[in-house]
Amino acid sequence: MSGIKHVTISDAEYYRLTQNDQQLRAIRHDMPDLIRQLRQRTSEDLQRRLGPIEQRQQAFQGTVEKLNTHVRELERDTSKRLEQQRRQLHQELQRTAGQLRGETREQVARMATQLRQETRSMLEAQEQRMTRLIDQERQERQAAFDALHDQVGALQAEQQRKLELARSWIEAAETIQGFIGEQYQHERFAPSQLSKLARDLRRAQENLASNAPEAALSTAQQAYQGLSDLRVELEQKEQEWQLWRTAALEDTRALLATAQHNRMCQAHGADDQPLDIEIEVDHWTDGRLSAHEARLQKMIDAIDHGETLSTDELRTIVEQQVPALEYEQTGILRDARLAVLSSQRRVNIADQIVQSLEQEGFVLDSGTYEESDMRSSYVVKTQHLDGGEVVVRVMPEPGRPGQNTLEVLSYDYEQVGQHEAERRMEGINSGLRAMNLEVTPPLEAAGRPDRRWLDIAQIAQPATERQVLQQGPTTGEQRP
């Protein structure tokens, strides 16, 4: 007989509590001022980024004023519709920001989800409007071309007029081609499209040089139509990119703000009721919250300065990565609360064991968490009237919340017989089962109990302090 017994303890009550997500996963969202600031910052950031788009459109309007009447009319109509889209988006941003300014603490209780849903709805509506705009532009432009084609067909004897029309449409196509090349990130948002249309335009120029005005006019109109469509498409894709980037920034910033706001959270007792104490989440999760915040900050930096992120990558952040990180964040908070609860359960288990030992003539000497760290094992020392000593360690199982290992160190194992030791353990296990705990049969470990566990004061010392106490004088001599 070694005097060392191990028992695995599973806490059914603990597992029941893990199912109560409403209590354990609840995040503090009571931060309306922070939400308002966040949405205001997002709105200002988006307006700042959409400003150059508006300036570019104004520059384009000045450019097309130099072109022929047909082109001016077509592009004016397109520009008006694009401007209408931008005004509608601006109004929606102001509307959502205004709603948040008037909301109460209860109405902003689900900040991250609310912001994500609002942003996604805005994006979907904007995409639908832009798609309709592009389709409408193509239809109207094609109708105008068809009408012009009928007019050209009637000019059988007016060769010079056809040449002039071909030159004007080539000039219009060249102007839009140059504007796209200078003003848009066309290779990023529509790879190779501009170079393809440039080849079409060169064919029109070659037809004109070959004195084939009808072929030149037809190919020039096709090149112009493709270039005009490309410009509207680039406007759409760039604005879409800006919106998804803003959504990604807003969501990640909101999640980081929520994490920082929840560094301290309310503890819950075994009866599911909140306690009047707050716990430090990062401490109780061994730094997991700090690591989570660092990942969010890294993502925010990448979005804020990552101009090469694609629209699909930004969309993935909003629709997949942020929800996954939000789930992770609530899990960290849950685990912090459960760690506190499990820590208290270890004390309760130890108390129950002491009560069982008291029936055998033992009395409590002292108890402590190892290194005075409530996340660690709880250790109690008991003494018998005849001088025998028993130390009990209730140790958490790493990675297995709700499960503990019990180690009973009997320093009187040479004085008591095996039968007495087994009876003592059965009394301990019976008391634990009365607490609705599942216990395994005791397993005997080899060797003798380490006597260092008898020094409860030393066990309570934090590791750094314990090392200092063990150091000798400055010569390096160690104390016994």
Q: What is the pLDDT, as a whole number, of residue 29? A: 52
pLDDT reading at 343 higher than 80: yes
- pLDDT by residue (tens digit) across 381-409? 999 988 889 999 999 988 776 788 999 99
List the structure tokens of 214.
């009808």
Contacts of 437 (CB under 8 A, 6+ apart): 9, 10, 11, 12, 349
Three-state secondary structure call for residue 341: helix
CB atoms closer than 10 angstroms to residue 284: 23
Residue 381 CA, chain-centre distance (Å), reads: 46
pLDDT reading at 217 higher than 80: yes
pTM of the complete model = 0.74
Q: Say if CB 224 and CB 208 are below 8 A apart.
A: no
Q: What is the pLDDT, as a whole number, of residue 438? A: 86
Q: Of all helices (H) and strands (E), which one includes residue 233?
A: helix 213-261
Q: What is the pLDDT, as a whole number, of residue 368? A: 95
Q: What is the pLDDT, as a whole number, of residue 339? A: 86
Residues 19, 23, 25, 27, Cα dihedral to 10°: 170
- pLDDT by residue (tens digit) across 437-477? 888 888 888 888 999 999 999 999 987 655 544 444 433 33
Contacts of 245 (CB under 8 A, 6+ apart): 49, 303, 309, 314
- pLDDT by residue (tens digit) across 347-357? 999 999 999 99
Residue 141 CA, chain-centre distance (Å), reads: 44
Q: Which of 116, 125, 148 is nearest to 255 (CA)?
A: 116
Alpha-carbon distance of 468 to 474, in angstroms, equals 11
Q: Which of 143, 156, 133 is nearest to 78 (CA)?
A: 133
- The sign one gets for the Cα dihedral 249, 291, 373, 25 is positive
Is residue 17 very low, low, confident or very high in pLDDT (cuts 50, 70, 90)? low
Q: Say if CB 231 and CB 181 are below 8 A apart.
A: no
Q: In 76-188, which ranges are E strands?
A: none
Q: Lowest-confidence range among 2-11, 59-68, 361-370, 435-444?
A: 2-11
Contacts of 433 (CB under 8 A, 6+ apart): 439
User: Which of residues 11 and 107 earns the better pLDDT score?
Assistant: 11
**Tell me, what amino acid is at 13?**
E
List the structure tokens of 248.
């990604």
Burial label, 359 (beta-carbon count in 10 A; 0-12, 13-18, 19+)? exposed
317-323-326 Cα angle (round to 5): 120
User: Which of residues 434 and 473 earns the better pLDDT score?
Assistant: 434
Q: Say if CB 338 and CB 14 are below 8 A apart.
A: yes
Is residue 112 very low, low, confident or very high in pLDDT (cuts 50, 70, 90)? very low
Q: Say if CB 4 and CB 444 are below 8 A apart.
A: yes
Percent of the chain with pLDDT over 70: 72
Contacts of 172 (CB under 8 A, 6+ apart): 64, 67, 68, 71, 220, 224
Alpha-carbon distance of 414 to 412, in angstroms, equals 6
b/e code 242-253 from CB counts within 10 Å (16+ = b): bbbbbbbbbbbb
User: Which of residues 385 and 372 earns the better pLDDT score?
Assistant: 372
CATH no., domain 4-14+343-470:
3.30.160.110
Three-state secondary structure call for residue 237: helix
List the structure tokens of 203.
């064919």
Three-state secondary structure call for residue 398: coil
Report the mean per-residue pLDDT for the chain: 79
Q: Which of 178, 224, 179 is nearest to 200 (CA)?
A: 224
Is residue 98 very low, low, confident or very high in pLDDT (cuts 50, 70, 90)? very low
DSSP assignment letter at 416: S
pLDDT reading at 110 higher than 60: no
pLDDT reading at 136 higher than 70: no
Q: What is the pLDDT, as a whole number, of residue 364? A: 94
Q: Which of 319, 315, 308 is nearest to 240 (CA)?
A: 315
- pLDDT by residue (tens digit) across 169-201? 899 899 999 999 999 999 999 999 999 999 999
Residues 336, 338, 339, 341, Cα dihedral to 10°: 130
Distance in angstroms between the alpha carbons of the first and the last residue of the chain? 30
Q: Lowest-confidence range among 78-87, 102-111, 267-276?
A: 102-111
